[in-house]
Structure 1
Amino acid sequence: MFNRRQFLHVSALSVISSQISAATTSLLAQQRFSFSTTENQFLLDQKPFQIRSGEMHPARIPKAYWKHRIQMAKAMGMNTIAIYVMWNYHEEREGVFDFSTENRDIRHFMQLCQDEGLYVLLRPGPYICGEWDLGGIPAYLLRHDDIVLRANSTTAPHYMHAVKRYIQALASIAKPLMLEHGGPILMVQIENEFGSYGSDPAYLEELRQLWVEHGISGPFYTQDGLPQLITNKTSIPEAAIGLSGGEVKDIIKARELYPQVPVMCGELYPGWLTHWGDPQLQGTDVDMSATIAAMMREKLSFNIYVIHGGTNFGFSAGANTEKGEYQPDITSYDYAAPINEQGQPNQFYWKYRAIIEQALAQKLAPLPAAIPQLRTDPRQEYLPKFFCSLWDYLPAPVKTKEPASMESLGQTSGFILYQKELPQEIQHPQRSLHIAELHDYASIHLNQKYCGAISRTKIDPQRFAKLKLTNHRHAFPLPAWTDNSSSKKTLDILVEAMGRINYGRVAVDRKGICSKVILQSTHPDHPQSEELQDWLCYHLPMDQYFLQQLRASKSVSKRPGNFFKLPLDFTRTGDVYIDMQHWTKGVVWVNGHALGRYWQLGPQQRLYCPATSLKKGRNDILIFDLHQLDATSISLRNSLV
């Protein structure tokens, strides 16, 4: 499998110095992007063309900031912007596409790139990895017990049926934006790093044919690590090749192996992603200066992944697996990129800009005006108040024989509650729960009293001793009870879905309880075990509809699983970070906008709140925490760290 971590030391860029005029835009229809079959080069109007691309993702950036981020990339020397299209962000419900609301309007994003004189590399998947939930594949597909992902129609009929619908919808947007029609799109990528997953030439060709059928005949390219490309033969005839983490020597080697098409560094890493539980934010010490200088000197094409990362707002963050361990991604997608999460240049931005400017021997475009920040006093602390209890807003349950996965119940994200009356036959005081596949974090309650929690993410139980937190797959001890009365014992398992695996060998990562639940007596003289059946399952998606039902409670809850609210008045707005270091684990909304998850596990403790989520006057910060009984303070900061 291709391990992207080994390529942290790569990156590069280039420029168009002046803003494109309306007259120039009309001339783009006369431009032609092609491949040289003799010199292994990209050609623009039959002249050698170096793609100097910076990647950013519309889904991770507020729409109001798109132009600013594009201009920041241009000022660093880019002539192209690469974008992932997150399929599941545009088709959250099966057959219902949204390419127009909020930051889903990718047509507008690409038009902004063109307005700035920049080209576009379109990376539509259908799988994109990208540290995004399930790599962009819609969760509704996982309701099929026999689902197969990322395979041809013969092997994966359900998947490819949905893919065909997706490509048809997206092609209608992309076709008029192709360069040949006067738009900014240079190339369309087919799949993504498929060589790290398998070898299925029929699948890749089927994807290519779908684009052709809908009026886009290319140019196309693929994206892989060089070893995986060679081993699994994931190139496509007449398609260019992008290398993940490819240095100059890798591009030269690939050119020797594939002389008929151009080769570029399709992902040049300026930093790295961070998981919950990592000791610190990753990749902050990566310096790509030497690599960028080499790319510019050799006039090699490249795409910086990412030049600006943005934020995994809401429940969009994905997860990796390594050596069988589940590794969910944090909310921030700062990535130690040259343009940070707030859109500001970091120290490496200026170094890379200087290298590119010198190589091009021309002055680069100026940086746009910075996005205003909210003036904050880090010493000022704000205390939210208890708002209401989750347990007072349980919807009508669904009855199932065995615990059902979130996807089989038609839910995409958020939380799900499993409730069961325990059998009276087991009367011995020592009992434990065994749940082989609990995805991903659960708080356990017995008779409305909190007993502890289970984490699929590896944690140090001693660090969280007060929470009675144990690791996934370990037996969870229940409190002893010895009464022989007929009173019922109600077990509640409240499960939070973290990110679905987007990179790793586990292609199908369902959420909730995905295995049997076994109640076992651990008494040495009376061992007994029983599979618990006949469950009540409660949908708790934490979406706008659910949140709108909440009302202030007259009494404070004595049971964890609560909402807290903080009203704040602002005379002006600006970007800010909400510091959650004193809280335990949960989600934050500001004026209904889901900022994302926080977790005491770290290393992220602050959530980015763009000014677009704020307003002058009253603002409401809503917090849901799995463990807090009492509110604690928050503060406002101006940076991620």
Structure 2
Amino acid sequence: MQRRDFLRLTALAPLAVLNVRAGAEPFTPLAAVERRPDGKPHRFTMGQQQFLLDDRPFQIRSGEMHPIRIPAEYWLQRIRMAKAMGLNTISIYLMWNALETEPGVFDLKTGNRDFARFIRLCQSEGMWVYLRPGPYICGEWDYGGLPPYLLRHPQIRVRDKDDPDYMAAVRRYIGTIAPVIAPLLAANGGPILMVQVENEYASFGHDLDYLKLIRSLWQQHGVHGPFSISDGLEQVRQEHAYLSGTALGLDGDTDFAAAQTIAGEFPVWMGEGYPGWITHWGDKDFARGDFAGALRLLLQQGRSFNMYVVHGGTNFGFGAGANASGDYSHFEPVITSYDYGAPINERGEATPDYHTFRALLAAHTTRPLPDVPVAPPAIRFAAITPVAHASLWDNLPAPRAVKNPQANELLFAQDHGLVLYRRKIPAAAVALILDGVRDYATVFRDGHYVDYVSRVQHAKLRAGNRVDLPAIVDGATSQLDILVDSFGHVGYGQAMVDRKGIVSSVRFGGEELEDWDAHSLPLEDGYIRRLKPVVTAPSRPGIFFKATLRLDQLGDSYIDMSGWAKGYLWVNGQLLGRYWNLGPQQRLYCPASWLRHGDNELLIFDQHQTVAAPIHGATTLQT
């Protein structure tokens, strides 16, 4: 059983007991301190198998949320929701690839990238912070937080201390963000109690010297810890991957006694406890969990924990990642919503689980809990029908001649979006075999849609990536177009060279096709702004549709795309993310801060639709 499968079973089943080995002494912490961050230096240390704050035992009651998945305008409301639930700490991932989009091009200030501001907001609300800055974080985020530009190096080996290209990028990343983090450490008057070294490394490798090197890079730049690691117990045990001197966080595992024999005098805690779970495209329904029993026992034992996640947010833009087996099969892209079945839902509302958890936490807290903040307002809007705005086929950039298909990252230095492969083929009716499609291709002959091939596990993949091309009656040759769309890069396990586009061959009647024209279509802002509008309504799939939404009042809304096939949705130039009628997600979350009074522009790119369907606004993720 793969570790992700094990954790999913753990997350979705109630825990009857937190395992303590027979004959072991039960965990009996001393009374924990309730001290809050106050801008003064505090001493956070580890000893006697416990966390100590100013030399007194401290129970971390943490809930995870990620600034990059939350509109910055809502950061304070989400933090206050976690505080009102009874938590004392916010755990956050930093997604490296959101902060450095190109080598050496950092943005730590705009929008929801300003993580230092988020951390200061936590402090202003009396919340401590558990920082998980990577460089690798998983998190179901594109490429596990690593920048996809690393895949432009043909021989890259990520999470490997001996790869010079990878380590040069890591040193640049840590050297850039460590000076921002250091003043925010508890020892310097900030709220950061502890910093995680990498993430779930034992599920990937066993080179302890790599973890030591990452820790030493933080120390060289003024971030001296304390440090933690977080992983599955069985993986840490098998790979001998415990980093000495760190807190040992267990992800989904609960055999704390066994873990304590590894960590010695350093604390063992629940580094990730799962109130919900990941949802992938093609799942039957949104994943849910049952964490109340586990939380009750954690509180009874005084055990520190981090709830992953207390609030998930949204995989805006191209942020959603993917999972796959080590051989790159069983590809499972993550949906745009990162609601995760969390106690605070995608748009900041308290769920029934929230109130259950709040009651449990209140019973173990010496201070009265704040009132639950009011959720941001939500709006519906009546159905509107977009009109055809532009055709992708009228907006192709200049091609690049290539002998054989190559990954987008190697061919164009392109991280996301589309690529088009075009060439002439004989007019005969012959099977076309597409090997190495990553991740979804639509096939056209002389401008007519023929079929599609998907990497996701459904009927077309089981058919062997075969497209049966009809014969062309007139002419000796015809034009073959293969338009390839990508999902997020795999961000977990061994499949960490998940390049996009066509990464293998295209065969026609058993013969490999060579000599292509390749067009790069990354769907970046500049391309979208330059779209040449249509004169007459196009009939070929690959159309941009546009609608004007007039609003007299603002609020969060879920834009219902259930009448559409597969593609992308922008609102006022902001890419909400992907939609797909494969489900289970049919509505995309749009925060009020992305809307405006009066006219709002909605732009849709659909890979199959030739006729527009109505769209409408709702107040919930599900119908």
Whether the TM-score (by the shorter chain) exceeds 0.5 is yes
Letter in 2 for 1:417: L
Residue aligning to 2:438: 439
Alignment CA distance shift 1:361-1:260 (3 Å): closer
Structure 1 CA distance for aligned equivalents of residues 544 and 482 of structure 2: 18
The count of corresponding residues between Structure 1 and Structure 2 is 601
Displacement of 1:106 after TM fit? 0.4
Residue 137 of structure 2 aligns to a residue whose secondary structure is coil
Alignment CA distance shift 1:238-1:471 (3 Å): same
Contact 2:242 2:262 (8 Å CA) reproduced: no
Residue 618 of structure 1 aligns to a residue whose secondary structure is strand
Structure 2 CA distance for aligned equivalents of residues 596 and 497 of structure 1: 12
Residue 527 of structure 2 aligns to a residue whose secondary structure is helix
Structure 2 residue 331 is matched with structure 1 residue 332:
no
From 293, 308, 311, the counterpart of 2:296: 293
Contact 1:274 1:330 (8 Å CA) reproduced: yes
Displacement of 1:322 after TM fit? 4.5
Counterparts of 1:268-307 in structure 2, within 5 Å, are: 268-283=273-288, 286-307=289-310
Structure 1 CA distance for aligned equivalents of residues 202 and 196 of structure 2: 14
Structure 2 CA distance for aligned equivalents of residues 15 and 365 of structure 1: 20
Displacement of 1:132 after TM fit? 0.6
Displacement of 1:7 after TM fit? 2.0
Residue aligning to 1:25: 38
Q: Deviations over 1:532-582 (max 9, x none)?
A: 112111111111111101243221111100011110111111000001111
Residue aligning to 1:526: none
Runs of at least 4 residues off by over 4 Å: 9-12, 14-18
Residue 360 of structure 1 aligns to a residue whose secondary structure is coil
Alignment CA distance shift 1:187-1:304 (3 Å): same
Displacement of 1:362 after TM fit? 3.3
Structure 2 residue 450 is matched with structure 1 residue 448:
no
Residue aligning to 2:96: 87
Structure 2 residue 609 is matched with structure 1 residue 619:
no
Displacement of 1:166 after TM fit? 0.7
Structure 2 CA distance for aligned equivalents of residues 201 and 348 of structure 1: 39
RMSD: 1.9
Structure 2 CA distance for aligned equivalents of residues 472 and 281 of structure 1: 27
Structure 2 CA distance for aligned equivalents of residues 584 and 482 of structure 1: 30
Alignment CA distance shift 1:492-1:199 (3 Å): same
Residue aligning to 2:57: 48
Alignment CA distance shift 1:534-1:15 (3 Å): farther
Contact 1:16 1:364 (8 Å CA) reproduced: no
Letter in 2 for 1:476: V
Residue aligning to 2:140: 131
Query: Structure 1: which 5+ residue stretches go unaligned?
Result: 462-469, 521-528
Structure 1 CA distance for aligned equivalents of residues 253 and 56 of structure 2: 24
From 517, 530, 533, the counterpart of 2:506: 517
From 169, 179, 188, the counterpart of 1:181: 188
Structure 2 CA distance for aligned equivalents of residues 113 and 622 of structure 1: 35
Residue 228 of structure 1 aligns to a residue whose secondary structure is helix
Structure 2 CA distance for aligned equivalents of residues 121 and 167 of structure 1: 17
Residue aligning to 2:25: none
Counterparts of 1:216-615 in structure 2, within 5 Å, are: 216-247=223-254, 250-283=255-288, 286-322=289-325, 324-374=329-379, 376=380, 380-408=382-410, 409-422=412-425, 424=426, 429-460=428-459, 471=462, 473-481=464-472, 483=474, 485-486=475-476, 488-520=477-509, 529-615=510-596
Structure 2 residue 46 is matched with structure 1 residue 35:
yes
Q: Deviations over 1:26-45 (max 9, x none)?
A: 32x1x100011xx2000000
Query: Structure 2: which 5+ residue stretches go unaligned?
Result: 19-30
Counterparts of 1:64-79 in structure 2, within 5 Å, are: 64-79=73-88
Bigger drift between 316-325 and 337-346 goes to 316-325
Alignment CA distance shift 1:387-1:15 (3 Å): farther
Displacement of 1:442 after TM fit? 0.7
Alignment CA distance shift 1:16-1:540 (3 Å): farther
Q: Deviations over 1:139-179 (max 9, x none)?
A: 11111221111111x2x221111111111111011111111
Contact 1:273 1:329 (8 Å CA) reproduced: yes
Contact 2:433 2:465 (8 Å CA) reproduced: yes
Letter in 1 for 2:342: A
Residue aligning to 1:523: none
Residue aligning to 1:465: none
Structure 2 CA distance for aligned equivalents of residues 590 and 196 of structure 1: 38
Residue 494 of structure 1 aligns to a residue whose secondary structure is strand
Letter in 2 for 1:102: G
